[in-house]
Amino acid sequence: MNRLSHLFVVSLCATLSTTSLAAVAQKRPNIIVLVADDWGYSDVGSFGSEIATPNIDSLAKEGVRFADFHAAASCSPTRSMLLTGVDNHRNGVGNMPETMPAEHLGKPGYDGVLNDRVITVASLLKDSGYHTYITGKWHLGKTAGTLPNNRGFERSFIQADSGSDNWQERPYAPLYDKAAWFENGQPAHLPQDYYSSTFIVDRAIDYIAADSHDQQPFFAYLGFQANHVPIQAPREVVDKYQGIYKDGWDALRKARHARAIELGLIPEGSGMVTMASTGDWNALRDEQKRYEARRMEVYAGMAETMDREVGRLIAHLKATGEYDNTLFVFLSDNGSEPTDPYDITAIKLWLQFNYSRDIDRLGGKGAFSSIGPSWASAAAAPLSGYKFFAGEGGLRTPLIISGVPGIQANQITRAFTHVTDIVPTLLEAAGVKAHEGLYRGKAVEPLIGSSLVPVLQGKSELVHSPQKAIGYELSGSAALFKGDYKLVKNIEPVGDGQWHLYNLKTDPGEVFDLQQQMPERFVSMQVDYAEYARANNVLPMPVGYDYKRQGQLYALKHVLIPKLKAAWPPALAGLLLLAGALVVWRRRRSERAS
């Protein structure tokens, strides 16, 4: 019996069985959600990448690839919607704490953590008899009441911040004074042989194995740090990519664009723009080209290493007989990361004291790397934009779902899909009734997404009605989706702050602005967006807002200035000594010159 037939039988038995509740629960599917961090649209092999991702691709062969899936343009807003099925402005994460302007702090919807008006899918599944686990990145709160053990997860080992070093227990930037890891709500420490992707899978396997005796199904959420900065990976994996990127980001972008068309992810003849932030590869010196290529080699190695660890989890489930009864969801939380932290003054100074950027050390312990905007644009190919902005390259990411009973295997759907659709999908697959704005007698935010099960089973080609308007906003960049069309504006430096209109069905690369050809649609969709913003308490951004400047202010306020104040007397003495030495040096230099 193959996997799909087995799942159908399991589903049928779960419906018809008259045995005990425990026996029925045993037949419900396990659920595993794999969340990649900052992967571009075409960073997966089955989405057109040259990076080796055979284990994730195997899930694609057994399931459905969503070519038109949309998340938010940064991590915690996406994660908040992924776990609650509620718009991020209503669930408390209208923005990340690290990039939230002071004017928004504490306003409704801008808590920076999940509020108490939403219920997580973990809580709903736990109530229905599932074991619930989370390992890896959380980034939805780190006070006692906002950690996963108080949001429906039985077992948890999580990183509470936006990220941390992948080799050591240390922060990756001066946004934090330490790496905030917690196990089951208590501060925790990492082992000496730690590497992020390996450890995250280790802990997930430990949790699954620990409860395997009671035959209950499980929900496991794995939040990988790959490929969030710092880009780090084992040397032997990185070296496999030597020479692959020697022709630069333009060549990579064109190759991935062609591959996406060949796979059927985007229509034949789709255009592609070159972003203004993309550098001129041919203008680089040979040593600069080698350095840039090495950065992308490390990036590829980090992605392949994550895939290898996913394969280890799959192997464990096969060995224990659980694989054929497991539903998998794979996605990236947003598009590729364009930010080079060395371009941010306060963070650059901190990095120079804490990390190396030598080419021979990139990827290893104590070394820091990122890919920057040019490679990020290639990682998002064939789309325009990247993380933090509302272009398709920031919002559209790979989504793969497998293991649903009756699923049509190895299929691609171009149906518009949103991250808030995941919770209804998981609940339907688990046979759990979705709450309708009431939980244990308390009014809560209702789910706003739609189940993807009809599309997965080939019973529908659409997830949402063409008349349904779906809004989005983050840090001043915004979008409104309706049918085949997208209304979008991006703040500087990526955009001009003005609205533009695109047909995503024919033009996913956002090349042809249709506002002149379709003035009525252009205006009506702006009206739809205004209603979305009003209903969800979306706040306007302060004039001149920039996410990098805001991150620098956060670092200064929360880490750098407090550390300077604590060390002020010795720091002052050091400055005086330095000033004195400079005066002596200048005097001697003047004497020699005379």
Per DSSP, 356 falls in state: B
What is the distance between the alpha carbons of residues 25 and 125, in angstroms, rounded to a whole number? 11
Q: Which helix (H) or strand (E) holds 206?
A: helix 196-210
Instruction: Look up the pTM and report it.
Output: 0.91
3-state secondary structure (DSSP) of residue 174 = coil
Q: What is the pLDDT of residue 9?
A: 42
Q: Is 213 exposed, middle or buried (0-12, 13-18, 19+ CB in 10 A)?
A: exposed
Dihedral of CA atoms 431, 435, 436, 438 in degrees, nearest 10, equals 160
For the chain, what percentages of helix, strand and coil (3-state, to nearest 5) are there?
40, 15, 45
Question: Residue 440: left if φ>0, alpha if ψ -120 to 50, beta else—which one?
Answer: left
38, 174, 266 from 348: Cα distances, Å? 21, 10, 39
Both tokens of 14, joined, read 């779960």
What is the distance between the alpha carbons of residues 271 and 277, in angstroms, rounded to a whole number? 18
| Parallel, antiparallel or unpaired: strands 181-183 and 399-402 | unpaired
Span 299-317, pLDDT tens digits: 999 999 999 999 999 999 9
Closest to 379 in 3D by CA, of 343, 334, 416, 421? 334
Both tokens of 104, joined, read 């928004």
C-beta separation of 344 from 235 below 8 A: no
What is the distance between the alpha carbons of residues 129 and 68, in angstroms, rounded to a whole number? 33
Span 406-423, pLDDT tens digits: 999 999 999 999 999 999
For 459, other C-beta atoms within 10 Å of its C-beta total 10
Q: What is the pLDDT along the chain (594 residues), one digit of tens a residue?
A: 445 444 444 444 444 333 333 444 448 999 999 999 999 999 999 999 999 999 999 999 999 999 999 999 999 999 999 999 999 999 999 999 999 999 999 999 999 999 999 999 999 999 999 999 999 999 999 999 999 999 999 999 999 999 999 999 999 999 999 999 999 999 999 999 999 999 999 999 999 999 999 989 999 999 999 999 999 999 999 999 999 999 999 999 999 999 999 999 999 999 999 999 999 999 999 999 999 999 999 999 999 999 999 999 999 999 999 999 999 999 999 999 999 999 998 899 999 999 999 999 999 999 999 999 999 999 999 999 999 999 999 999 999 999 999 999 999 999 999 999 999 999 999 999 999 899 999 999 999 999 999 999 999 999 999 999 999 999 999 999 999 999 999 999 999 999 999 999 999 999 999 999 999 999 999 999 999 999 999 999 999 999 999 998 999 888 888 877 787 666 655 655 666 666 656 666 665 555
Please identify which residue in the block is written with the tokens 């644009």.
377
Span 342-371, pLDDT tens digits: 999 889 999 999 999 999 999 999 999 999
For 251, other C-beta atoms within 10 Å of its C-beta total 13
What is the distance between the alpha carbons of residues 4 and 1, in angstroms, rounded to a whole number? 8
Both tokens of 113, joined, read 């953590």
Closest to 397 in 3D by CA, of 36, 3, 22? 36
What is the distance between the alpha carbons of residues 395 and 163, in angstroms, rounded to a whole number? 20
Per DSSP, 558 falls in state: I
What is the distance between the alpha carbons of residues 565 and 44, in angstroms, rounded to a whole number? 46
Query: Catalytic amino acids?
Result: 75, 139
137, 334, 424, 529 from 389: Cα distances, Å? 22, 10, 27, 17
Closest to 64 in 3D by CA, of 84, 38, 46? 46
Closest to 3 in 3D by CA, of 312, 428, 322? 322
What is the distance between the alpha carbons of residues 209 and 214, in angstroms, rounded to a whole number? 10
Q: What is the pLDDT of residue 566?
A: 80
